[in-house]
Chains A and B, each alone.
Chain A
Amino acid sequence: AQSVTQLGSHVSVSEGALVLLRCNYSSSVPPYLFWYVQYPNQGLQLLLKYTSAATLVKGINGFEAEFKKSETSFHLTKPSAHMSDAAEYFCAVSGDTGNQFYFGTGTSLTVIP
């Protein structure tokens, strides 16, 4: 069975500071991992995904994530936070029997001016 754990339900950073959102996965098979962002009253938008190619994945809006098998992690980073990055971020792992996603509980990012 697949699952993801997002450490830290709330993260606050200053504008211009490094953003680090943590995601650890549990999977009995090689996982496919996704990061989504959700702005208030909107659906989820894909930031990036890992599908067993390069372990460092670059996404939209300057975000990137590194797949580390030894640590079972797929943390999301951005070198410099912008006010517009304030949102809810979800990590998800794809099921081994198809495209069923298992989402984490989310991390709310606040950017302090």
Chain B
Amino acid sequence: GAGVSQSPRYKVTKRGQDVALRCDPISGHVSLYWYRQALGQGPEFLTYFNYEAQQDKSGLPNDRFSAERPEGSISTLTIQRTEQRDSAMYRCASSRQATNEKLFFGSGTQLSVL
């Protein structure tokens, strides 16, 4: 596609429910990144992939968070047993090469856990 696409744009869920956030990167981009951004803060690194391989997941807050990119294109970030503190904007970015230069960001998914 022309840009990084994320869905849904907004997600409201009840505490304890599982959610899946989707990212469709720019076609052909090797690397895909997930960030979480609180209001007024910088993006916080969660995890990233080169092709289908998860290279670094050190930023995932705990084992309720997981991500996959099975075919090296679309990625899903899953949060199990959501908690109110998980409420944030979740942003996906992709880059053409595995050198993390020039990240292209999507519009994000605003997650609200009630």
* Co-complex (A, B): no
Residues of B within 8 A of A (CB): none
Residues of A within 8 A of B (CB): none
